[in-house]
Structures are given as structure tokens and as C-alpha cells.
Amino acid sequence: MELYFLGTGAGMPTRGRNVTSVALNLMPERGTVWLFDAGEGTQHQMLRSPIKPGKLEFIFITHLHGDHLYGLPGLMTSRSYQGGDEPLTVFGPPGVRRFVETAFEVSGAHLDYEVRIREFEEGVVFEDEQFRVTAAKLEHRIDSYGFRVAERDTPGALDSARLAAEGFRPGPDYARLKRGETVTMPDGRTIDGGAYLGPALKGRTVAVFGDTRPCGSELELARGADVLVHEATYMHEKADNAHKYYHTTATQAAALAAEAGVGALILTHLSSRYQDEAVHRLLEEARAIFPRSHVAEDFWSYAIPRRAE
């Protein structure tokens, strides 16, 4: 489970940073990839990355500004040509359906796979036996959302060596024991599966936010997350600009990370004014408040560790 950054710039692409898109690589967990935002040129960035469009399962759109959205129709169309035949679900604010359907209608595009579009406002937007995804509205010039992706805890490993030592042979009952159930074995003994399990593996939590000013809903989405992905359009010396244009400074993002008790903060969506040494200064500004801060670069990845219960 890792984050892979396809675009880390704000507003418009530069030579060093494309506009926003970040992939959550879940190939080991479910054989798929989830994408958060698809700014212009996202499919081009994928050509230079290990992310394969055919493996996309979900695309989550934080808001409908072009630097987070304009790459979506091209990416979806190219996916057909690149072997993508599994269904694709696009989650986004109201309006995303009209945007996608209009683009396809006007261009006469044809897709060889099923597209599902789910418009949401707030609350749980997806849930299954592995993950729960929650969205909450942030504070931006248009409706913008943050997502909290929570992986469910995984039972610990079954101590098969101990079972074998006690005379139990592998079979269908092992699956029940793995689930922690109580099983009556062929010789009449009844054993509690939970007593043969190692420590549970705590599920990981990732918070990915769209553009926003500091606001109250951020804290609940970010609280206790293993990693928080947050915009840092400006350094703190431009705090007035950040407020005026509904954005966040590196200092403000770091303060949120500290208050929420996250494992790591990744700053992205940097203004084009920040290049080279200025990026280093922006990072130092954040680390002065929250030492476990990082600034994302295009084609950079961050592995999310799994913690024992």
C-alpha cells in the first residue's frame, strides 16, 4: 500500500510539476489502484510511472476545478486502448457526471468497459469488507472535499505450527479458525480460533484533501491517520494570499498534522513560484512545526507501513 504522486503542482503545469493527481496503489491488497484527482496530462504522467490505467478501480475527484479534473476524459478514453476492460467508478461532487457525459457526447468517445459515476456530498461514499471511504466538505471557492480512506483491521496469522503440534491437520476448519471462530475438531476437541491467532494487523488510514482554507472538518478527517496528503499552495509569508484564494500555507498544514496526530504529512499542490531552494524553505517551514513532513515531487512514492495492534 503506497501513495504515488503523478502531479504535485497548483493551477497550471510547470516543467517540474504537473497538476494534481495522486494514486493509492492497492495492488497487494486488492489488485487495483485508486486515483485521487486527474488534472490535465495525468495520462501522460502515467506513461512514465508504474501505474497502469487498466488497473484503475476508482477515481475520486475532490472538486471540479480544471487542475484537478481536466485530465479525466482523456484518461478514461485511453484506458480502453490500454487493455482496461474492468468496470471503473468515478466518485465526485455534483456536476462530475455532466462533465464526463458532455465530454464523451461531444467527442463521440466510445469506451469498452462499464463506467459508473457516483456523485456524493458528505458521508460514507464507499464501503466493503476491506475499506471504508468517507468524504467531508472543506472550504474552497467551489465545493471541495477531503477523503478519509480507512483500511479495516486484519486478523493475525494463524499459528499452524502450534496446531500441528497439537495433532490438528490442515483442512477447511483452518479457515474458520483463522476467522477466530470456535471449532469442534474430528476427535471431539473444541478449540477457540482466537487463541491461535497472532497479533492483529491494524488497518492503515490515509487522508487526502482537495483545495481548502483551514477549516473544522479537516481535523476529524485527518485525526490519527497514518498519512495526511494536504495542499501547501503558499509559504506562510503569503498567508493573506492563501486566505484570499481559499488555500493553505505549509505552516497551517503542519499545524493541522500536529493537532490531528497523524503519522506523516505530505505537502503537495505547490504554487509555481516555489522552485528549487524555495521548495526546501517551504519544507523547513512545515518541519519546524511537524517534523515528519515531506514535500511530494512528481513520480515520488511513499510506502504506508502496517502497524501491529
Q: Which residues are catalytic?
A: 67
Q: For residue 8, give the C-alpha cell.
A: 504535485
Longest Cα–Cα distance in the chain? 75
Read out DSSP for 242-294? HHHTT--BHHHHHHHHHHHT-S-EEEE-B-TT--THHHHHHHHHHHTT-TTEE
CB 250 within 8 A of CB 283: yes
Torsion angles phi and psi, residue 72, rounded to 5: -65, -50
Per the DSSP assignment, residues forming a β-bridge with 93 are: none
Which secondary-structure segment (H or E) carries 148? strand 145-151
* Residue type at position 255: A
Give the whole-angstrom CA distance, residue 251 versus residue 232.
8
Give the whole-angstrom CA distance, residue 306 versus residue 309.
10
Sign of the CA dihedral 54, 35, 40, 118? positive
